[in-house]
C-alpha cells in the first residue's frame, strides 16, 4: 500500500505589501490641441514624459531597486513596479495603485517619492501642488475603488514621504527648552508642546491627522526635515550641507521624524536641523495663522472634481 506524502510546504502567512508610489498623474508631451485618449495612447511612453515627472520616476525606480537589493522578501511583498497615483492608461497598466494593493495582505507600506516643501508635494510644477489634505482624500478615493474585500480603515498602513521638508516645522526657543528638559529628565511629557506644533504645521503631521479624521485607525507616517536627496550610491537618502546649514553630508535617518499609530512622535538626532526657508508663511496652511480657509475636505473635493481617474492627462 502506497503511503500518501504530506506537503512539506508550510502555510505562508500574509505579508506586508511594500509599494513605491509617485503621488501624481504622469504627463506627456503632445502636439494635440485637446486632452483625451483618442489618438494619444501611443505617446504615453517614458521618452515622451514631461522632464519633471521623468526625474521623479527615475528616483522612484532607484528606491525600488535598492529595496529589491536588500533581500527583504521574507518580510515584505515588494510590488515590482513604481506606482502612479491615478495611472490607468495602456502604457501605465502595470503601474496602477489598484493592481498593487489587492490580494491577501497583512498591511501596506507606501514609500512616496516626489519633490516637496512644507505645504505641497509633486513634481516641482505648480500644476502638481498636492496638499496633505488632498493627498489623504486621493488615497481614500483609490482605496474605496480598489477592493471591496479589504477593510483599509483598519488595516495597518505606513506612509514614508521621501520628499524635501515633509517634516519641517518652525522651531521656537520654547521647543529647544522642552527638548533639553526631556533629555535631562527622560520624561517625554516635556515634549507635548513640540509634538503638537510639529503635527499641526508639518506636511506629515497634517496628513496623519487628516487620515485619522477620515477614519483610518492604524496608520504610521514618516517624513524628513530639510532638503533630502538620493545618496551617491542610489541606496538611500542623504542631506547635503547646502540649504541645511550643515558642516557635512549626513544620512537621511538623522532628520527622520516618525508618527506612530497612536500619534506619538519619534524625534531624530538632528531634529532642529536649521533649514533655510525663504518665507515660512508661503508654506503653511492659512488656518495655521488664524486666517479662515475652506475645510480640508472641501479643498480636496474641489481638486478631485477636476481629475479624471480613468484618463491621465496629456499636456501640450
DSSP codes, the chain: -PPPPPP-PPPPPPEEEEEEEESS---BB---SS-SSTTTGGG-SGGGB-HHHHHHHHHHHHHHHHHHHTT-TTTEEE-SSPEETT--SSTTTTSBHHHHS-SSEEEEEEEEE-EE-SS-EESSSGGG-B-HHHHHHHHHHHHHHH-SS--TTTS-EEEEEESTTTT--PPPHHHHHHHHHHHHHT-GGGGHHHHHHHHHHSHHHHHHHHHHHHT--SEEEEEESS-EEE-TTSSSEEE-STTTT-SS-EEGGGGEEEE-TTS-EEPPTTTT-----S-HHHHS-GGGGT-----HHHHHHHHHTT--TTS---B-
Task: Please state the domain extents for the chain.
Answer: 15-304
pLDDT computed for residue 69 by the predictor:
81
According to DSSP, the residues that pair with 159 across neighbouring strands are 110, 221
CA dihedral 207, 15, 229, 178 (to 10 degrees): 50
pLDDT given at position 191: 84
Average pLDDT, consecutive stretches of 10 residues, N- to C-terminus, the chain (316 residues)? 48 83 76 41 65 84 86 82 65 66 86 88 66 87 77 94 90 85 75 89 94 96 86 67 68 88 90 69 48 51 48 39
| Grid cell digits, residue 174 | 520654547
Closest CA to 170 of 43, 89, 307, 288: 288
How far apart, in whole angstroms, are the C-alpha atoms of residue 297 and residue 293? 11
Amino acid at each position: 500500500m502506497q503511503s500518501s506524502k504530506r506537503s512539506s510546504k508550510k502555510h505562508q502567512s500574509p505579508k506586508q505589501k511594500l509599494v513605491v508610489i509617485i503621488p501624481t498623474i504622469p504627463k506627456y508631451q503632445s502636439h494635440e490641441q485637446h486632452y483625451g485618449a483618442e489618438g494619444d495612447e501611443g505617446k504615453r511612453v517614458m521618452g515622451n514624459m514631461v522632464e519633471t515627472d521623468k526625474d521623479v520616476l527615475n528616483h522612484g525606480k532607484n528606491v525600488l531597486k535598492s529595496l529589491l537589493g536588500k533581500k527583504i522578501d521574507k518580510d515584505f511583498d515588494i510590488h515590482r513596479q513604481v506606482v502612479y497615483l491615478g495611472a490607468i492608461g495602456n502604457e501605465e497598466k502595470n503601474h496602477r495603485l489598484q493592481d498593487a494593493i489587492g490580494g491577501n495582505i497583512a498591511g501596506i507600506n507606501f514609500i512616496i517619492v516626489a519633490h516637496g516643501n512644507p505645504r505641497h508635494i509633486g513634481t516641482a510644477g505648480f500644476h502638481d501642488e498636492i496638499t496633505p489634505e488632498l493627498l489623504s482624500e486621493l488615497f481614500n478615493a483609490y482605496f474605496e475603488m480598489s477592493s471591496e474585500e479589504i477593510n483599509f480603515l483598519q488595516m495597518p498602513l505606513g506612509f514614508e514621504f521621501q520628499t524635501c521638508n515633509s517634516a519641517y516645522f518652525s522651531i521656537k526657543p520654547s521647543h529647544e527648552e522642552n527638548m533639553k528638559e526631556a533629555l535631562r529628565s527622560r520624561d517625554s511629557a516635556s515634549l507635548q508642546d513640540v509634538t503638537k506644533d510639529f503635527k499641526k504645521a508639518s506636511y506629515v503631521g497634517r496628513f496623519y491627522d487628516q487620515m485619522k479624521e477620515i477614519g483610518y485607525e492604524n496608520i504610521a507616517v514618516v517624513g524628513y526635515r530639510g532638503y533630502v536627496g538620493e545618496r551617491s550610491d542610489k541606496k538611500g537618502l542623504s542631506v547635503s550641507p547646502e540649504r541645511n546649514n550643515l558642516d557635512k553630508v549626513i544620512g537621511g535617518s538623522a532628520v527622520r521624524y516618525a508618527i506612530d499609530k497612536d500619534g506619538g512622535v519619534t524625534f531624530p538626532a538632528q531634529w532642529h536641523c536649521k533649514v533655510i526657508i525663504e518665507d515660512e508663511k508661503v508654506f503653511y496652511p492659512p488656518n495655521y495663522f488664524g486666517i479662515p480657509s475652506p475645510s480640508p475636505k472641501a479643498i480636496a473635493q474641489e481638486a478631485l472634481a477636476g481629475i479624471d481617474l480613468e484618463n491621465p492627462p496629456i499636456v501640450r
